[in-house]
Amino acid sequence: MSDILLSIENLETCFRTPEGTIHAVNGVSMKLEPGETLGIVGESGCGKSVTMLSILGLIPNPPGKVVAGKALYRGQDLLKMKDSEIRHVRCSEIGMVFQDPLTYFNPVLTIGRQVSEPLEVHRSLSHKEALDQTVEMLELVGIPRPKERLNDYPHQFSGGMRQRVMIAMALICSPQILIADEPTTALDVTIQAQIVELVKSLRDRLGMSIIWITHDLSLIAGLAQRMAVMYGGFVIEEAPVEDMYAAPQHPYTLGLLGSLPRLDDVQGRKLVSIEGLPPVLFKKPTSCPFAERCNFRIERCNLENPSLRLVDKCHRVACWVNPETRRENQ
Amino acid sequence: MKVVLKLLKNPTSLIGIVLLLTYVIVAILAPAIAPVPQNSRDPYMIPRDGFKTAPGLPSAKHFLGTTEGQYDIFYGIIWGTRTAFRVGIIVTILTLILGLVIGSLAGFYGHWIDELLMRITEIFLAFPFLLAAITLTSVLQAIYGKISAGPLMILTKLLALITFAQGFDQALNPIQMSILTGMMAIIAFGWMTYARVIRSNILSVKEVEYSLAARMVGANDMRILFRHLMPNAVFPVLVMASMDIGSYVLTFAALSFLGLGAQRGYADWGQMISFARNWIPSLAENWHIVVFPGMAIVLFVLAWNLVGDALRDILDPRMRGRGAGL
């Protein structure tokens, strides 16, 4: 772990609502190396997106607030940056792709203007140079006839094409990190595969790091080197992808993988679902957040919240239960 | 381009456009249609033919007759077209800008800024428009005798720069001053509805995801507000403003009629009608002193309203396919 591009340490974010304070992220730590692809998995509302929006200062305040933690990008704390400094980081150092490509485009501006906007904001280029780069980028993400499509509006593109355009917009200033926040969730399966392939090829060509947020476990497998599983605002397991799929440790990860069909499944195996609902985070959990739904629960789970511990090289889990017990029950 | 084509296809808006174009041509060609007399110091001052009190009927020399004090009505109407355009358009644009800035800041930043700006808006709304404009004009005119500097003077000079293309260093004469105070009064009490409408529109678009995307791109607040949100929110307000041009001209005419806007003898339609005040009992004989300037005002306001109405029908998708046969 010689040089680390992005290091998030003990990040905590909460939202003040009339019903009370919601602790959305409760001390998340993760690291990203140059050129690495990190997958973040978890169900809705577990704090995946909030973590990413927090480090970029995009949490609307109020009601949201980053309460504690650091987000070091090349040694600089993003959370302590002034507004003008963090603005420069956005898109030109860290790009982001969002889930629903239609609503994230401004309906009254042409694609050309929107894709070239980061250049306009961050680089002092002439109009022509900016347009040339935009065309080049659109071509790179596989938009046919990019020059003619510059003057089209977002609604004139199909969902898959729109997502490609959004990727072009995120990458046009050649950022070091691309954060993809469930970029394929709104697309159908064949288009999903295309987008994943596109991102892979762009990664190989441009050499950026990727943080890929999803709740589709199968998608991560072919894309990421390392993955983190989040639950209730915590990272509960973190491991290289192969280890994670071969030997999942946390009961929640076990549940997630158990709910998916596998090619090497024994015929007739029933897919399991995890009983219960994710916790509502009105107070910072003092016990293991998964305890209520956990089949392996022991007494300690209700008393103390486990922190991430190394169980294997590079494989870290936050669970009190004896690894052997878990494995036997698998 | 489509909008223009639709405007031309619709008979009511076509009438409006033809009327407006006529006014524009008259305004441009004013020096040719009604030549300025050689001894005139200001082309906007209506030439007089003697000092007799009683109005003169239309004749070969005075095409549309003369008013009380022998001011030429034809000349006044022709040159008054310029005043009407000048006042109407400048007042509308400035009112619109004021309303847009206040309303969009309130909607965009929310919280106490919103509270503060909207309460101020409500205070201004509480005054009846015409009454407030009349009061403010007379107050301003009274103040201007006494001050020569300060923020109020800078504002006035700015307005003079826009209205009369007059440099900052030149002193303002009383004729210009009285027109400027009238315009300022209308602007001061005209912006509130624009502010309210743009605020509500900004509120509804600022939570949409593309404003987060714009933030992600690294755009600052002003860029997000004016480049990303404004185009999504501004159209209803623009249509409102286009319909209001006529009513601002009408209000200014009312001020002039009361002796507050344009000074006596200035080529302004409202001011010309004010010459008829003393002749109300004998309007049967002197009908021309009211009818001609009055017609100029009515047709001007009508033209703007027709165009504004049609513009609303075209730009408002909810109205599409209904009414107006568009």
Q: Which two three-digit tokens encode residue B46?
A: 């209506």
Domain ranges of chain B: 2-319
Nearest to B228 among A83, A100, A106 (CB): A106
Give the model's pLDDT for residue B219.
Answer: 81
Interface touch A98/B232, C-beta < 8 Å: no
pLDDT of B79 over the 50 cut? yes
Interface touch A121/B218, C-beta < 8 Å: yes
Interface touch A169/B217, C-beta < 8 Å: yes
Mean pLDDT, residues B218-224 taken together: 84
Q: Which two three-digit tokens encode residue A84?
A: 């003008």
Mean pLDDT, residues B263-278 taken together: 87
Nearest to B208 among A90, A103, A169 (CB): A103
Nearest to B216 among A90, A106, A109 (CB): A90
Q: Is A288 helix (H, G, I), strand (E, B) or coil?
A: coil
Best CA proximity match to A121, nearest among B212, B255, B220: B220
Query: What are the chain B neighbours of A83 within 8 Å (beta carbons)?
Result: 220
Query: What are the chain A neighbours of B228 within 8 Å (beta carbons)?
Result: 106, 109
Whether A90 has its CB under 8 Å from any CB of chain B: the answer is yes
Residues of chain A with CATH 3.40.50.300: 1-90+225-330, 96-219
Give the model's pLDDT for residue A137.
Answer: 85
Interface touch B216/A96, C-beta < 8 Å: yes
Give the model's pLDDT for residue B149.
Answer: 65
Q: What is the CATH number of domain A96-219?
A: 3.40.50.300
Preferred mutation among A16, A90, A94, A108 to probe B, highest tally of B CBs within 10 A: A108
Nearest CA in chain B to A169: B217
Give the model's pLDDT for residue B225.
Answer: 87
CA distance B113 to chain A (A): 14
Preferred mutation among B113, B217, B224 to probe A, highest tally of A CBs within 10 A: B217
Query: What are the chain B neighbours of A84 within 8 Å (beta carbons)?
Result: 220
CA–CA gap between residue B75 and residue B72 (Å, rounded)? 6
Nearest CA in chain A to B219: A121
Whether A52 has its CB under 8 Å from any CB of chain B: the answer is no
CA–CA gap between residue A118 and residue A116 (Å, rounded)? 6
CA–CA gap between residue A288 and residue A215 (Å, rounded)? 21
Q: Is A93 within 8 Å of A28 (Cβ atoms)?
A: no
CA distance A68 to chain B (A): 22
Give the model's pLDDT for residue B326.
Answer: 38
Nearest to A98 among B209, B219, B223 (CB): B209
Fold type of domain B2-319: MetI-like fold (1.10.3720)
Query: What are the chain B neighbours of A121 within 8 Å (beta carbons)?
Result: 217-219, 223
CA distance B97 to chain A (A): 21
Whether A121 has its CB under 8 Å from any CB of chain B: the answer is yes
ipTM above 0.90, yes or no: no
Interface touch A90/B220, C-beta < 8 Å: no
Nearest CA in chain B to A171: B217
Whether B109 has its CB under 8 Å from any CB of chain A: the answer is no
Give the model's pLDDT for residue B72.
Answer: 87
Task: Please write the tens of the pLDDT for every residue from B178-203.
Answer: 888 899 999 999 999 999 999 999 99
Which string of DSSP letters, residue by residue, matches A51-115?
A: HHHHHTT-S-TTTEEEEEEEEEETTEEGGG--HHHHHHHBTTTEEEE-S-TTTTS-TTS-HHHHH
Interface touch A58/B217, C-beta < 8 Å: no
Q: Is A319 within 8 Å of A251 (Cβ atoms)?
A: yes
CA–CA gap between residue B42 and residue B37 (Å, rounded)? 10
Q: How confident is the model at residue B174 (pLDDT cuts 50, 70, 90)?
A: confident
Count Cβ atoms within 10 A of the Cβ of residue B253 and give its class: 0-12 exposed, 13-18 middle, 19 or more buried: buried
Choose the CATH number for A1-90+225-330 among 3.30.530.20, 1.10.8.60, 3.80.10.10, 3.40.50.300: 3.40.50.300
Give the model's pLDDT for residue B318.
Answer: 58
φ/ψ region of B99 (left if φ > 0, alpha if ψ in -120 to 50, else beta) reads alpha
Interface touch B219/A117, C-beta < 8 Å: yes
Q: Is A176 within 8 Å of A94 (Cβ atoms)?
A: yes
Nearest to A121 among B208, B219, B231 (CB): B219
Nearest CA in chain A to B209: A104
Interface touch B209/A56, C-beta < 8 Å: no
Which string of DSSP letters, residue by residue, matches A126-145?
A: -HHHHHHHHHHHHHHTT-SS
Q: Is A259 helix (H, G, I), strand (E, B) or coil?
A: coil
Query: What are the chain B neighbours of A106 within 8 Å (beta carbons)?
Result: 210, 213-214, 228, 231-232
Nearest CA in chain A to B231: A108
Whether B231 has its CB under 8 Å from any CB of chain A: the answer is yes
Nearest CA in chain A to B234: A108
222-251 of A, contacting B, C-beta below 8 A: none
Give the model's pLDDT for residue B196.
Answer: 93
Q: Which residues of chain A have pLDDT under 50?
A: 1-2
Mean pLDDT, residues B56-85 taken together: 85
Whether A74 has its CB under 8 Å from any CB of chain B: the answer is no
- Give me the sign of the Cα torsion angle A276, A278, A279, A285: positive
CA–CA gap between residue A228 and residue A265 (Å, rounded)? 24
Query: What are the chain B neighbours of A55 within 8 Å (beta carbons)?
Result: none
Give the model's pLDDT for residue A1.
Answer: 43
**Chain A / chain B CB contacts < 8 angstroms:** 59
Nearest to A118 among B209, B218, B228 (CB): B218
Q: Is the peptide bond before A63 cis (omega within 30 degrees of 0)?
A: yes
Give the model's pLDDT for residue B301.
Answer: 92
Query: What are the chain B neighbours of A109 within 8 Å (beta carbons)?
Result: 227-228, 231
Q: Which two three-digit tokens encode residue A244?
A: 């994670």
Nearest to A98 among B213, B218, B227 (CB): B213
Whole-structure pTM value? 0.80
Q: Which residues fall within 8 angstroms of residue B70, CB to CB, at 6 or more apart?
A: B48, B49, B50, B51, B52, B56
Interface touch A98/B215, C-beta < 8 Å: no
